Structure 1
Amino acid sequence: MNGFVLGGVSSGVGKTVATLSIIQALEDAGYSVQPAKAGPDFIDPSHHEAIAGRPSRTLDLWLCGEDGLRRNYQRGEGDICVVEGVMGLYDGDGSSTAMVAEALDVPVVLVVDAKAGMESVAATALGFQQYAETIGRDIKVAGIVAQRAHGGRHEQGIRDALPDDLEFFGRIPPNPDLEIPDRHLGLEMGKEAALPREALREAAESLEAERLAAVASEPPAPDEPVRACEPVDTTIAVADDAAFCFRYPATLERFRERAELVTFSPVAGDPVPDCDGVYLPGGYPELHAAELESTDTLSELGRRASEGLPVLGECGGLMAMSQSLTTAEGDRHEMAGILPADVTMHDRYQALDHVELEATEGTLTANAGETIRGHEFHYSSADVDGDARFAFETVRGDGIDGDHDGLTEYESLGTYVHVHAESGAFDRFLEAFDG
């Protein structure tokens, strides 16, 4: 599958809107598009899926490694893969957009904000292209998409200013309908605030779909192909609703490939399914704390955990497994009571980084002495009891208390860290039940 990376000159330049517009343009031209996201984000991919109709692949070198990144790319389906970048093209030490493009060996289409420039747009693009050569990186900036650019003289001025080896792939016209509402953690999810098709089709008309398709190239195959894993006689229940919506497609795929997967909604008050283990992904439990408290699901989950049912929670899942959750407005809500912690929301984020953890003891996602890599981004903090037990020391990142992560109680584990299936953590989780 051929592909290209859509990189930005900075955060906030409109990469997501450009990505969605390009997906629409390619699909209108008859191509089947596989969306992907460079970096560990969950929110932008939800918008990709809303438009493309298939899950967006997560491509992050820190989370997956180079081979894992290429394997995850290969699992996609379609004629062309459009990879939305993270932050500015060269920003980030763990897995920048440039690092992902280099690992895939595919070209970069640069999104440049053109609302107040013409020749300066070309100068900016040329600088990004030549910077790769200056630092000795194999980053191929093929051309630009001009964000917030008008037609006529504005568009022509940008075209004329670009050097011959930088293509003009079109523009995204200014349009208030092409704005996605945001909140803490980023944009609103795709199911909540998908961009209107009419506005995207209007933007797509200003893009050159065939030239975008022609510039795409196929990444090299991974050194190790997709690994076949033995099935296990296990049923995993996954929380799936507006409070628990941050999970990578590869995680669910791994569960389905190796075990039986069932879903339930704690917000709706679904009973905990008959299962061998529970996975609580991240999400927005703070926005649904009253509903979670008012149903019996979390209290049942707490009782089942105390009887030995393994529960694995990541970030929002950790919050739901705690004793209580206090919102930023000061409202306190009882949670499952599995973990000896009380969680409080804040107005500013408390941690944002790629993370590495070392297991100090055997736990659901790692054996003692093993390290796993992940990502943390949360606005809450956890006040843990004095006798709390941690499964991990933080090699990189903040974790729960700055030095540790992985609160463990009974047979359960809650972390602030999101991990990818390529880390091996979910295989370890599944294999904990086998035999």
Structure 2
Amino acid sequence: MKGFVLGGVSSGVGKTVATLATIRALSEAGDEVQPAKAGPDFIDPSHHAAVAGRPSRTLDLWLCGEDGVRRNYDRGEGDVCVVEGVMGLYDGDGSSTAMVAEALELPVVLVVDAKAGMESVAATALGFQRYAETIGRDVEVAGIVAQRAHGGRHEQGIRDALPDGLEYFGRIPPADDLEIPERHLGLHMGEETPLEADALARAAEHLEVDRLLGVAAEPATPAGMGESGTRVPDPESEPELEPVNARVAVASDAAFCFRYPATLERFRERADVCTFSPVAGDPVPDCDGVYLPGGYPELHAAELEESGTLADLGRRASEGLPVIGECGGLMAMAESLTTVDGETREMAGILPATVTMHDRYQALNHVELEAVADGPTAGSGTRIRGHEFHYSRASIRGDEDARFAFETVRGDGIDGDHDGLLEYESLGTYAHVHPESGAFDRFLELLA
């Protein structure tokens, strides 16, 4: 499947809107589009899925490694893959957009803010193109999409200013109805506040679909794949994973919505999977283990307290049901959650901790954790990588007796030095991990 990367000159330049308009333009031209996101984000991919009609793939070298990124790309479906970048093209030491584009050998279409420039837009793009050579990265900046550009003289001036070797792929016109509302952790989810279809259609009209398809390239072949695209077993790079006799219940609603498509795919490949909604008061299903993804429990704290599902989950966990929770899942596993308004609500009470929301983020980083003992997601001495982004802070009750699964090699974790609070057979962590880490496979195998 051919593809290209939409990279930005900086954060906030309008990559997500440009990506959604590109998906819309290609879809209207009759192409099946597979969206993807460079970086560990959950929110932008929800907007991709709302427009493309299929889940967005996560492409992050820190989380997945080079082979893992290539495998995740390869698992996509469609005629062309549109990869939205993260931050500015070269920003990020663990997995920048440029690093992902280089690993996949895909060209970059640069999103440049053109609202107050013409020749300067070309100069900016040329600088980004030449910078790759300066730092020794094999990254092809093929051309630009001009964000917030008017038509007529403005557009023509940008076209005329671009030097040979930089193509013009179209523009996104300035429009108030192309703004996605923001809140803590980023944009609103795609299911909550999707862009108006008419506004997106109008923006898509100004993109040059034939040029975009013309620049799309075949990606680097992942390990375990033959030249023809047929999968070839490669036990060293991708060991074959056997099914397990287990049933996993996954929380899925507006409070628990931060999960990678690949995680559910891995669960479904190896086990029986069911979903339930704690916000709606669904009973905890009959299962061998529970996964609480991240999300926004702080926005639904009252419903979670009143529904009774978390109380039931706490009782089941105390009887030995294994539960793993990531970030928002950790918050829901705590004894209580205090919102920024000072309102305290009871949670599941699985972990000996209370959680408090803050006005500013408390951690934002790629993380690396080392297991200090055998645990539900990693064996002793194993290192796993993930990422953390949260506005809450957990306070441990009786911290001298707290049991942690991990020491933090990189990142903040729960107390600056540790992450993964353990109680009963359950684990709550601030780190989000990808199935390429092996964490979910270990969890499944312990349930069998």
Question: Normalization by structure 1: what TM-score?
Answer: 0.99
- Alignment correspondent of 1:169: 169
Matched, 1:423 2:432: no
Q: Which residue identity is paired with 2:171? A: R
- Structure 1 stretches of 4+ with a deviation exceeding 4 A read none
Matches of residues 401-420 of structure 1 in structure 2 within 5 Å? Answer: 401-420=415-434
- Alignment correspondent of 1:59: 59
The question of whether the paired residues in 2 share the 8 Å contact of 1:234 and 1:433 is answered with yes
- Alignment correspondent of 1:298: 310
Aligned mates of 2:376, 2:210 — CA distance in 1: 48
- Alignment correspondent of 1:137: 137
Aligned mates of 1:283, 1:344 — CA distance in 2: 15
- Alignment correspondent of 1:242: 254
1:352-404 deviation digits (Å, cap 9, x = unpaired):
00000000011110001101000000000000022211010000000000000
Aligned mates of 1:379, 1:231 — CA distance in 2: 37
- Alignment correspondent of 1:125: 125
Q: What secondary structure is seen at the aligned counterpart in 1 of 2:442?
A: helix
RMSD over equivalenced CA pairs, Å: 0.7
Measured after TM superposition, the shift of residue 227 of structure 1 is 5.0
Aligned mates of 1:218, 1:405 — CA distance in 2: 39
Aligned mates of 1:301, 1:179 — CA distance in 2: 39
- Alignment correspondent of 2:405: 391
- Alignment correspondent of 1:36: 36
Aligned mates of 2:42, 2:213 — CA distance in 1: 26
Measured after TM superposition, the shift of residue 295 of structure 1 is 1.2
Q: Which residue identity is paired with 1:83? A: V
Which residue, 346, 349, 358 being the options, matches 1:334?
346
Matches of residues 15-164 of structure 1 in structure 2 within 5 Å? Answer: 15-164=15-164
Q: What secondary structure is seen at the aligned counterpart in 1 of 2:304?
A: helix
Measured after TM superposition, the shift of residue 108 of structure 1 is 0.2
Q: Which residue identity is paired with 2:40? A: P
1:10-58 deviation digits (Å, cap 9, x = unpaired):
0000000000000001011111100000000000000000000000000
- Alignment correspondent of 2:384: 372
Measured after TM superposition, the shift of residue 433 of structure 1 is 1.5
Aligned mates of 2:447, 2:170 — CA distance in 1: 53
Q: What secondary structure is seen at the aligned counterpart in 1 of 2:324?
A: strand
Q: What secondary structure is seen at the aligned counterpart in 2 of 1:432?
A: helix
The question of whether the paired residues in 2 share the 8 Å contact of 1:5 and 1:107 is answered with yes
- Alignment correspondent of 1:185: 185
Aligned mates of 2:239, 2:202 — CA distance in 1: 42
- Alignment correspondent of 2:356: 344
Aligned mates of 2:415, 2:383 — CA distance in 1: 18
The question of whether the paired residues in 2 share the 8 Å contact of 1:67 and 1:224 is answered with no
Q: Which residue identity is paired with 1:260? A: D
Structure 1 window deviating more from structure 2 (237-246 vs 194-203): it is 194-203
- Alignment correspondent of 1:266: 278
1:187-240 deviation digits (Å, cap 9, x = unpaired):
000000111111111111100011101100011211235654100000000000
Q: Which residue identity is paired with 1:69? A: V
1:77-108 deviation digits (Å, cap 9, x = unpaired):
00000000000000000000000000000100
Aligned mates of 1:216, 1:269 — CA distance in 2: 46
The question of whether the paired residues in 2 share the 8 Å contact of 1:359 and 1:370 is answered with yes
1:152-208 deviation digits (Å, cap 9, x = unpaired):
000000000000100000000011110100000000000001111111111111000
The question of whether the paired residues in 2 share the 8 Å contact of 1:280 and 1:312 is answered with yes
Q: What secondary structure is seen at the aligned counterpart in 2 of 1:190?
A: coil
Measured after TM superposition, the shift of residue 299 of structure 1 is 0.5
Matched, 1:400 2:428: no
Aligned mates of 1:298, 1:85 — CA distance in 2: 36
Aligned mates of 1:107, 1:228 — CA distance in 2: 32
Aligned mates of 1:201, 1:213 — CA distance in 2: 18
Aligned mates of 2:302, 2:164 — CA distance in 1: 58
Q: What secondary structure is seen at the aligned counterpart in 1 of 2:224?
A: coil
Matched, 1:254 2:266: yes
Aligned mates of 2:446, 2:136 — CA distance in 1: 45
Q: What secondary structure is seen at the aligned counterpart in 1 of 2:109?
A: strand
Measured after TM superposition, the shift of residue 303 of structure 1 is 0.3
The question of whether the paired residues in 2 share the 8 Å contact of 1:8 and 1:110 is answered with yes
Aligned mates of 2:178, 2:213 — CA distance in 1: 23
Aligned mates of 1:136, 1:416 — CA distance in 2: 35
Q: Any stretches of 5+ residues in structure 1 without a counterpart?
A: none
Q: Which residue identity is paired with 1:46? A: S
Aligned mates of 1:228, 1:112 — CA distance in 2: 43
Aligned mates of 1:370, 1:314 — CA distance in 2: 18
Q: Any stretches of 5+ residues in structure 2 without a counterpart?
A: 226-237
Aligned mates of 1:296, 1:202 — CA distance in 2: 46
